[in-house]
Structure 1
Amino acid sequence: MSDTELSTLDLEFRGLPLLDSPWSVRFAQGTRGRRALEIYNNGLLLDVMVESTLAPHLLRGARRGSREGRHSVLAWGHVPLAEAPPRVFLGRTGTEVEAIAAAGGFWLALAEGDADRVTAHGADGAAEHLRVRAGWSR
């Protein structure tokens, strides 16, 4: 893996740069050389996903946080083999947000606001739901 792949990702979601939020993500290397993606909230490690050929959860996590008074929600999970990232919806109103694929079979969705739930719909029609937790909680 190159140094670039191991650095913090500089992603932009419909005009909301990840670097202007409390969230950061970083590629790492898991066991057997598999890619891993680390999720951070204000520098605190929240989750590590490892590339897998098994059927991992489509929707793995969702947190809310703020930086300088700007609230945002980050959701993440695994992209099923040979599929596009899921359709992701936040809150009770089901506002759709863009999910971006990352190398290693991962996806991320970032949106401004303070939603309390997230739903991800895979290409096969399956849906997974999670309550959005505070960014610092375990």
Structure 2
Amino acid sequence: MTMPQPYPTLDLDLDDLPLLDSPWSVRFALGTRGRTALEVYNAGLLLDILVARPLAADLLRGARRASSNGRPSVLAWGHLPPDGIPPAVLCTQRNHTRQPAEAITAAGSFWLATLEGCFDRVTVTRRDGTSERLRVRAGWSR
């Protein structure tokens, strides 16, 4: 007889997301009803928890900035749209500098994007043209 695992595990491929040498980290878990959960951290401080939803949810859930070793970076995250394709991500600064960031799929329900630099706003756009925008907050703020 096989003993049940105390904590279910998720097979993930985050090779495309450069979280090493940054203040950002993520953790995945299985929540109620077997739904996938994403926890977002800055230097060990829990910033947000997202739980996969069967219906449409916030495309852009959060955007934070922080520095590690004097290098500023931005992390943005949210739920995947119904078509399962991560949104186009655009970071902007007050001086109107714009820089795209590549979003990757995480755990089949979420997307994450990181970009080096100090940006003030993040805009995400679905393939259907629908977009959402958030001000980038300091990584430690609640």
Q: Map 1:1-138 to 2 at 5 A.
A: 1-2=8-9, 5=10, 11-13=15-17, 17-91=18-92, 92-138=96-142
1:66 and 1:25, CA in 2 relative to 1: closer, same or farther beyond 3 A? same
1:127 and 1:118, CA in 2 relative to 1: closer, same or farther beyond 3 A? same
1:89 and 1:54, CA in 2 relative to 1: closer, same or farther beyond 3 A? same
Equivalents in 1 of 2:26, 2:15: separation in Å?
9
Equivalents in 2 of 1:54, 1:11: separation in Å?
28
RMSD (CA atoms): 1.7
Equivalents in 2 of 1:27, 1:11: separation in Å?
15
Q: Deviations over 1:59-79 (max 9, x none)?
A: 000000011111100000011
Instruction: Tell me the matched-pair count.
Output: 132
TM-score norm. by structure 1 comes to: 0.89
Displacement of 1:49: 0.6
Q: Which amino acid aligns with 1:70?
A: R
Higher Cα Rg: structure 1 or 2? 2
Displacement of 1:11: 3.9
Contact 2:39 2:50 in 1 (8 A): yes
Equivalents in 2 of 1:58, 1:119: separation in Å?
10
Structure 1 residue ranges without an equivalent (≥5) = none
Structure 2 residue ranges without an equivalent (≥5) = 1-7
Q: Which amino acid aligns with 2:104?
A: I
Q: Moved runs in structure 1, 4+ residues, more than 2 A?
A: 9-13
Displacement of 1:12: 3.7
1:24 and 1:6, CA in 2 relative to 1: closer, same or farther beyond 3 A? farther
Q: Deviations over 1:4-28 (max 9, x none)?
A: x289x75444xxx202100000101
3-state SS of paired residue (1:18): coil
Identity across the alignment (%): 61
Contact 1:6 1:26 in 2 (8 A): no
